[in-house]
Structure 1
């Protein structure tokens, strides 16, 4: 069966490309080295550090971004590290709090425990915020991963006309996907992300 891939707007098939090919054409990677400087801490004090690093960069055109099959994953590694670093004041406060609890004093054990829980709770707020952001990002990433297969089926069957700047489907790949109708890339992406159930994620 011959599929008509001519653009529904201009009627030409010259300049029409599959959406995966148009997306791949707009994504490139460059490699290079950069000179870096910094400060190191040694027993003798602060020491300047200089060196080079290898850098990988991904360049994405506006068209490739607007035809993306899924939103990018949200990184969580740095937030986890920040949350753990922000727990250090809690850990440092444990020793004096433990010493205060073990001491015989006239304030009473209950008051000391209440003060200890209050202080540790206040010190833990920044790390709790960081970890709650990690949980939110993990939920988002899981939702995108679950819907990626359904969205990819819709995305990969689309075509893009470079002459008119519209994307379309020659045949409807799923229910509620209109065939032979031109959409600007952002509307095309909405249909794809909606098929993956992460359009509002």
Structure 2
């Protein structure tokens, strides 16, 4: 009679390991030295995750924040163009006096007195406004993505409860459940295991977009 943790595929237990142990075992912190933007050396710690660990993740990957970089870039453009226009176009200086000033014995013409900022500087103001609007739109998009992901994965505790009772066979590359009501002990592929766990958490539809085999190829 086979034991509780015996793989239902090969019937052996010498290469069977709890899913949480496999998942955590594939996530290591690696430290290294590299130069920063100023050329100074610094120590950087990164998390290196194996493809198997990613394939056994109990929750989907959160939405990427790369688009947020465009928001920060737009903010910098808005600030830079605004300052350039304000300083070059002298937008905030007081209006000149009614009497034209005398400079070295000659008078400035009425057209020169109180002349408006050159069109080039006015254009910088428009660029600054559009860049600021773009930054607001990007940050709004990032916030909405995070909020939607949080709503989708609010049932992750149910998924993790089922996930924690899975067993992975390194020999067969399959997963099975042990003593879980409503779940049989047949071997499951990584994708089938992901679909079962994520569906239990209420976000099973994301298992189609983030396939387990794709994680193994990373």
Task: Select the structure that is richer in strand.
Answer: 1
Both structures adopt the same fold (TM-score exceeding 0.5): yes
Task: State the number of aligned residues.
Answer: 167
Would the aligned equivalents of 2:15 and 2:170 in 1 still touch at CA under 8 Å? yes
Secondary structure at the residue paired with 1:58? strand
Instruction: Give, in angstroms, the shift of residue 59 of structure 1.
Output: 1.2
Report what 1:30 is aligned to.
Answer: 30
Q: State the superposition RMSD in angstroms.
A: 3.3
Report what 2:192 is aligned to.
Answer: 187
Q: Normalized against structure 1, the TM-score is what?
A: 0.67
Judged with a 3 Å threshold, the aligned counterparts in structure 2 of structure 1 residues 123 and 33 are, in CA distance, closer, same or farther, namely closer
Q: Normalized against structure 2, the TM-score is what?
A: 0.62
Report what 1:161 is aligned to.
Answer: 169
> Unpaired segments of 5 or more residues in structure 1?
39-48, 100-117
Instruction: Give, in angstroms, the shift of residue 128 of structure 1.
Output: 3.9
C-alpha distance in 2, partners of 1:62/1:150?
A: 24
> Unpaired segments of 5 or more residues in structure 2?
93-125, 207-218
Instruction: Give, in angstroms, the shift of residue 72 of structure 1.
Output: 3.2
Matched, 1:63 2:52: yes
Report what 1:15 is aligned to.
Answer: 15
Q: Deviations over 1:169-192 (max 9, x none)?
A: 12335x5xx321111112211211
**Structure with the greater alpha carbon radius of gyration:** 2
C-alpha distance in 1, partners of 2:203/2:81?
A: 37
